[in-house]
Amino acid sequence: MNANAWGQRLRRLLRWESLLLLVLVAVTAGNALLSPYFLDATTLSDASFNFTEKALIALPMALLIIAREIDVSVAAIVALASVAMGFGAAAGWPTPLLALTGVATGGLAGAVNGLLVTTLRVPSIVATIGTMSLFRGIAYGILGDRVLKDYPAGFGVFGQGYAFALVSNELLLFVLAALAVGVLLHATTAGRRIYAIGANPTAALMSGVAVDRYRRWLFIATGLASGCASVLLTSRLASTRPTIAQGWELEVISMVILGGVSVAGGVGTILGVVLAAAILGFVTFGLGLQNIPGIVLSIFVGALLIVVVALPIVGARWRARRAQRPTSAGA
């Protein structure tokens, strides 16, 4: 009702994001100290490739986790879509059709996940563990130990092209997508309903929200994003291997959780996810410049994940102990 209340609310909302911003600044500073080349515009542009593809998937994944679901099959969907595109390329399909194939394959796979969770009532963690093996397995089965490389020259525009100056197509696409998803989540009725579903699915249902329909579409969206990411990745690598995007699901989920989205649902912002994606991307790239292998980076990511989720819990306990207020048993 007054400026103070507004300020309070804003502060509460952005506490996590402010922390992330600090970490991002620290990471950038650290990288700049370690390597004089880091702050170079070209370098920063190259750094973006490390996270744009995963971050693209992280956007709908964030919506999914806010709605109290999860999808660990995203990396497998990337692989499947890539295989589909590889075969299309071998058959001589034109670039636009290839891209469409990739995205459509992703969407279909997402629809399968949605079906399992909403119609067949399988808990999403278990359902997507199953489809993860299924999709990746199909990719392996079809490809064997081959590598598909017959992509047309024009196909590289997605993953290797630049929109203008040093901004790559990938980065531009990601920024546009982040803006779109951000608007969706924070400014539309659909976004508000997603929050409600995550915060209290029963109450949301009783308030007229078509809970199952939203869930289904979120899984399809995640599939489509995975398909898109597959287009970008395959285009950048100009090849398809069955091991493509191995382990990405955990990086994407880490990005989302690091971004402040709670596994319990109902909480999180797109800004946080974007910041977390940038942090992880810069760290990966920075370590790469130092010739530190990616596996060491994962230690950092894992530790960061645990610390970042533990901090609010520890903080709340510490504050409660200081206040010495006895907790009421509640009516």
- Alpha-carbon distance of 116 to 93, in angstroms, equals 32
Considering only 201, 259, 260, 281, the residue that binds other proteins (CB under 8 A) is 201
In sequence order, the 6+-apart residues with CB closer than 8 A to the CB of 278 are 24, 51
Stretch that binds other proteins, among 50-58, 85-93, 162-170, 310-318 (CB under 8 A): 310-318
Q: Please tell me whether residue 19 binds other proteins under the rule CB under 8 A.
A: no
Which residues inside 216-275 make contact with other proteins, applying CB under 8 A? 242, 250, 253-254, 257, 263-264, 266-267
Q: Specify the residue, 20 or 127, whose C-beta has the smaller distance to other proteins.
A: 127
Is residue 298 at the binding interface for other proteins, with CB under 8 A as the rule? Answer: yes
Torsion of the alpha carbons at 189, 191, 192 and 195, rounded to the nearest 10: 160
Q: At what angle do helices 189-199 and 211-237 cross, to 10 degrees?
A: 110
Q: Quick one: which of 299, 321, 322, 327 contacts other proteins (CB under 8 A)?
A: 299
Nearer to other proteins, 157 or 306 (CB): 306
Among 295, 321, 323, 327, binds other proteins (CB under 8 A): 295
Asked if 233 and 112 touch (Cβ cutoff 8 Å), the reply is no
The number of residues in the chain equals 331
329 binding other proteins? (CB under 8 A): yes
For other proteins, the closer CB: 53 or 251: 251
DSSP 167: E
Contact positions with other proteins (CB under 8 A) in 134-193? 134-138, 140-141, 143-145, 187-193
From the list 37-45, 116-124, 166-174, 271-279, the region that binds other proteins by CB under 8 A is 116-124
CA distance 281 to 310: 22
Q: What gap in Å lies between CA 61 and CA 139, rounded to an integer?
A: 22
Choose between 97 and 250: whose C-beta lies nearer to other proteins.
250
Contacts with other proteins: how many residues (CB under 8 A)? Answer: 78
d(CA 136, CA 121): 23
